[in-house]
Amino acid sequence: MGTQPKKPTSKGPAEWFTGDVWIDRLVEPNDHSQLNVGAVHFTPGARTAWHSHDGGQTLYVTEGKGLVQSRGEEIGELRPGDVHLTPNGQEHWHGAAHDHFMTHISITQGPATWGDHVTDDQYGRTA
């Protein structure tokens, strides 16, 4: 048991994101747990690439307005207080709406598999 000091905010890697995204890592996997928790801050129009997670992903939206889509499904809106669950292995993307910032807490139990970036055309259908 112990208190961990806050780690510095890091810029989201270009391989994973389109636009400016900043990550505050809250809990990182270690020898005892694969739990990964982060506060992810998206600027307007910023979004993840298509990806999936071993063990699925839970998003808890804390501020702003976001978008989320699973492959082959309609795009949905995310608002503060919303909890979005993506099942194990389901390919999806999420990010900010074109005219709003969005922050969510991401909770995962396993590694992510990253795919292609979401194109402007794919994202633009929501604007």
For residues 66 and 81, give the distance between their C-alpha atoms in angstroms, rounded to a whole number: 12
> Model pTM greater than 0.75?
yes
Q: What is the pLDDT of residue 126?
A: 46
Please tell me the class of the 10-124 domain: mainly beta
CA distances (Å), origin 86, targets 12, 92, 109: 21, 8, 12
pLDDT digits (tens, 9 = 90+) for 16-47: 999 999 999 999 998 889 999 999 999 999 99
Q: What percent of the chain has pLDDT over 70?
A: 97
State how far Cα 19 lies from the chain centre. Answer: 13
What mean pLDDT do residues 64-85 have? Answer: 97
Q: What percent of the chain has pLDDT over 90?
A: 88
CA distances (Å), origin 100, targets 12, 41, 42: 18, 11, 9
In the beta sheet, which residues pair with residue 25? 38
So where are the chain's domains? Answer: 10-124
